[in-house]
Amino acid sequence: MAPAGAARPAANGVFIVTIPKITFKNNTAIDLSGVPNVTQWVQYTPKPAAGSFAKAAFFSKKLAATSGKWIDGPQALLSGSANGNASNILLILNAPVYNAATDVVTLAYKVLPANESSLPAASGIANSVLGLVASQSTDSSGATPLLTAAAPGLTLYNATLFIDTADIAKYTGSGSSTSGEKAGLIRVPLGYSFGYGYDYYVGDPYYYP
């Protein structure tokens, strides 16, 4: 996260986590249930790349930044279905704990307001979704607004967590990641909330419907 008054760093990559069920335990912790064994990552710049992490390695202290925070306390977009309705929530995440016995990942979180200036990084997926929300209204297009609060007990199903980072090479070069996947067009499943998915070109920080 950038110091007060400093220019925000631009996101240069994203971690993509699919989650069958995510529950807001209380005002500070969320539970991710049934997370797949592999978390995908995509690097945009300086050289397009993609790869993956094993679940236990990704949700661990191995990805702690010099600040001591996991991935430096990243911004993230959570997109899924809550009470049968498509929902989007912007979060700050930290301190993952993976319980292998129950196959549940617990993360510390903070809900962010639907305000671009509240995001610690620029040019990430969270920023782009805010732009889509600002340019579309539910009255005219059916686009889903962002939730700005999450009551304890709120549960999202068939969710995807997009975790932006401004220094992805620091984490993918930690020795815990597998790289070498061919860069190019990948399907980013934002479609649950917006009616269709996006093809994301790894080498270009824009989204194409």
Residue 1 placed within a domain: no
Distance of alpha carbon 57 from alpha carbon 64, whole angstroms: 11
What total number of domains does the chain contain? 1
72-124: per-residue pLDDT in tens? Answer: 999 999 999 998 889 899 999 999 999 999 999 999 999 999 888 899 999 89
Calculated CA dihedral for residues 117, 118, 122, 128, nearest 10 degrees: -90
Residue 60 placed within a domain: yes
pLDDT at position 66? 87
Residue 4 placed within a domain: no
Long-range contacts of 135-142 (CB under 8 A, 24+ apart): 142/195
Query: Could you tell me which residues are beta bridge partners of residue 77?
Result: 90, 162
Percentage above 70 pLDDT, the chain:
73
Residue 8 placed within a domain: no
Residue 159 placed within a domain: yes
Q: For residues 40 and 54, is the Cβ–Cβ distance under 8 A?
A: no
Q: For residues 64 and 81, is the Cβ–Cβ distance under 8 A?
A: no
17-61: per-residue pLDDT in tens? Answer: 999 999 999 999 999 999 999 999 999 999 899 999 999 999 999
Residue 143 placed within a domain: yes
pLDDT at position 146? 79
In 3D space, the residue among 137, 98, 91 whose CA is nearest the CA of residue 114 turns out to be: 91
Domain containing 113 equals: 13-208
Q: For residues 35 and 52, is the Cβ–Cβ distance under 8 A?
A: no
Residue 5 placed within a domain: no
Residue with tokens 């539910």: 138
Pick the more confident residue, 35 or 189: 35
Write the DSSP assignment of 106-123 as a string of letters.
EEEEEEPPS-GGG-SSBS
Residue 74 placed within a domain: yes
146-185: per-residue pLDDT in tens? Answer: 789 999 999 999 999 999 999 999 999 866 666 654 444 4
